[in-house]
């Protein structure tokens, strides 16, 4: 089975450059903000989002070249993603991320909020310097989407009446919007026609949704070691995801556990058992596979090349990474 690192081969040098530049993004003159931002980027991560941007850039270039603006867009995408994680961790009161202490645990909540704000501001400054107003419009919309996604999620904590459609919509705002906008932005910087922009936007949307659904599966089926944070953390906080929503249609007892917000010490282990027993995980994986197929359909217009092959394999990897 391919690994994510082997799929990055066509953009290996560019991704290394992005990684190096991300660590210098923290170049603020304030030592606390510098330390917080440096801690975030040195914690690592999959760097999936910048890799997708770089692969889209190469896949849509006749010369298979990546322009400086596209390389910068890949960095901006990861900065925005990281900023959103900082704020997420504060809201969800997470203590670890990627196996490291979260910023608000390492410093405090005020510093974490300011560090997230700083990264959002830094991304906006870099974005403005790309010099393409249409790309600026596309990417900045993502930041408002994040806020809307958080509000939507906050309003339905421990609410078993939410639908799969509600879940998909919230997941778009919180995760897929950034991937979709970044793919469109990379295409726009290659002067493609509007239909191609739309196809790549939809590719990113479906790819982002598949990734989020599989993350939610991993939250229940994965281990604390593999996740870099406690397993089951999301649904313990009342975030009802695809595996839980599918399980609710089969297991009435699960509804009762959610209604009482897992108040009994045995509720979490019982909920995990019911989710697995009901087939909720399998149904969630099937939903992710549907999103992967929809994403791949959006790439049909691209001619065969090594970057396109990597993009397609990376899309399949979203599903197989749990195997």
175 annotated as a binding-site residue: yes
Instruction: Give the C-alpha separation, 105 to 111, whole Å.
Output: 10
Q: Is 321 annotated in some ligand binding site?
A: no
**How does 21-49 read in b/e, with b if 16+ C-beta sit within 10 Å?**
bbeebbebeeeebebbbbbbbebebebbb
* Tokens 């879940």 sit on residue: 167
**Longest C-alpha distance within the chain, in Å?**
61
Residue 156: φ, ψ to 5°: -120, 25
The answer to whether the annotation marks 97 as part of a ligand binding site is yes
Residue matched to tokens 């903000």: 33
312 annotated as ligand-binding:
no
46 is in an annotated binding site: yes
- CA angle at residue 219 from 218 to 225, to 5 degrees? 80
Q: Is 212 part of any known ligand binding site?
A: yes
Distances (CA, A) of 290 to 278, 296, 319: 20, 10, 10
Spatial distance between the Cα atoms of 115 and 199, rounded to a whole number of angstroms: 34
By CB neighbour count within 10 A (0-12 exposed, 13-18 middle, 19+ buried), where does 138 fall? buried
**Ligand-binding site membership of 157 (annotated):** no
277 is in an annotated binding site: no
Q: What is the 3-state secondary structure (H, E, C) of 219-242?
A: HHHCCHHHHCCCCCHHHHCCCCCH
**Residues annotated in a binding site for Mg(2+):** 88, 92
**Residues annotated in a binding site for an all-trans-polyprenyl diphosphate:** 97, 174-175, 212
**Residues annotated in a binding site for isopentenyl diphosphate:** 46, 49, 81, 98
**Residues annotated in a binding site:** 46, 49, 81, 88, 92, 97-98, 174-175, 212
């Amino acid at each position: 089975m391919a690994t994510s690192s082997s799929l990055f081969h066509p953009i290996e040098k560019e991704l290394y450059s992005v990684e190096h530049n991300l660590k210098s993004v923290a170049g603020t003159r304030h030592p606390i903000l510098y330390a917080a931002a440096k801690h975030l980027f040195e914690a690592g991560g999959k760097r999936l989002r910048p890799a997708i941007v770089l692969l889209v850039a190469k896949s849509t270039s006749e010369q298979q070249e990546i322009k400086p603006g596209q390389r910068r867009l890949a960095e901006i995408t990861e900065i925005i993603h990281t900023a959103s994680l900082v704020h997420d961790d504060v809201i969800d009161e997470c203590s670890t991320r990627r196996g490291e202490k979260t910023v608000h645990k390492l410093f405090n909540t005020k510093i974490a909020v300011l560090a997230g704000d700083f990264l959002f501001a830094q991304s906006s400054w870099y974005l403005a310097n790309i010099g393409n107003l249409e790309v600026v419009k596309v990417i900045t919309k993502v930041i408002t989407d994040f806020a809307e996604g958080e509000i939507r999620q906050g309003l339905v904590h421990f609410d078993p009446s939410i639908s799969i459609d509600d879940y998909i919509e919230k997941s778009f705002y919180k995760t897929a919007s950034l991937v979709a906008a970044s793919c469109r932005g990379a295409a726009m910087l290659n002067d493609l026609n509007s239909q191609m922009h739309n196809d790549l936007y939809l590719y990113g949307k479906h790819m982002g949704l598949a990734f989020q659904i599989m993350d939610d599966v991993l939250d229940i089926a994965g281990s604390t070691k593999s996740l870099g944070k406690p397993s089951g953390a999301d649904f313990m906080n009342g975030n009802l995801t695809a595996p839980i929503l599918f399980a609710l249609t089969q297991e009435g007892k699960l509804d009762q556990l959610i209604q009482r917000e897992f108040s009994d010490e045995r509720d979490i282990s019982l909920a995990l058992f019911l989710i697995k027993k009901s087939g909720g995980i399998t149904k969630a994986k099937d939903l992710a596979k549907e999103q992967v197929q929809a994403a791949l359909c959006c790439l049909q217009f691209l001619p065969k090349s090594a970057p396109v092959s990597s993009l397609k394999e990376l899309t399949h990897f979203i599903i197989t990474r749990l195997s």
